Amino acid sequence: MRPAPLPVRDGLGPARVRLRGGPVLAELTARFGASARLKVLAGEVVDAGGAVVDEATVLAAGASVYLYRELPEEVPVPFDIPVLHRDADIVVVDKPHFLATMPRGRHVAQTALVRLRRELGLPELSPAHRLDRLTAGVLLFTTRREVRGAYQTLFARGLVRKTYLARAAVDPALVLPRVVRSRIVKRRGVLQAVCEPGAPNAETLVELLSPDGLYRLTPRTGRTHQLRVHMAALGVPIDGDPLYPNIIDVPPDDFGTPLRLLAQRIEFDDPVTGARREFVSDHDLKGCENQ
């Protein structure tokens, strides 16, 4: 993908807006209001080639312009992001609960990507994979555009072994270990993913490690909310889950009840160096209220 024609600024790249076609100033004003109009008039909007858009610019349908978005008001996530490893190609961190991996929706500046770009001074930092906002644990970023594709492909092809820990109730009648297979579908605009009839597209090995409800979860696929859906389907939803089996409305400033799910370990053969890599979280699920 071609780099954006505007650089990362204060940890955040520009927003790309695909146009319907016609005078750009009128369209941006109609879609985004007076703030977009002011950005055009101030010379802060550019086309895909980096040329400044002005009040006379007309672009065809499907063309794109770039501008820096107005940041929404966000509740600060009051937890640090410990760095587990850093070299010329990658940064591996121990992401806290409640922090999204990258900007989406109402979470922009309060995301691991933006905060790390600012804290580490790495404007090209990019996630090689994602963790849910409520899931803590090992998260890998690339530091340079040249190596980004190699690491993202590694995760996309399922060549990374991932191990999670979770806490949940114990059902003596539930036979474990077992491999859970189902078809999981997550629809845009719907909070919960659901299991539907059809060929399985999600597979998880579930093991009970201790009688007090510590589980090891080994996903063999990577569907959205897969581990949470599978544990709920077994009748032992993960402690602190506000989505499964039932949706619970949690205030955005409530950090007192984290989801007891931890991306505890990742293992892979490095696509750049060929070395075997292994990174392990320092989080403790028993004490995660205090991060």
pLDDT tens digits, one per residue of 256-278: 999 999 999 999 999 999 999 99
Query: Which tokens sit at 55?
Result: 């009040």
132 is catalytic: yes
Digit-coded pLDDT (tens) for 202-247: 999 999 999 999 999 999 999 999 999 999 999 999 999 999 999 9
Which CATH homologous superfamily contains domain 83-280? Pseudouridine synthase (3.30.2350.10)
First-to-last C-alpha distance (Å) of the chain = 37
Whether 288 has a pLDDT exceeding 90, the answer reads no
Active-site residue, from 47, 87, 94, 132? 132
Q: Looking at residue 77, what is its pLDDT? A: 96
Task: Return the domain boundaries, the chain.
Answer: 15-67, 83-280
Cα-based distances in Å from 142 to 119, 124, 150, 168, 231: 15, 8, 9, 33, 31
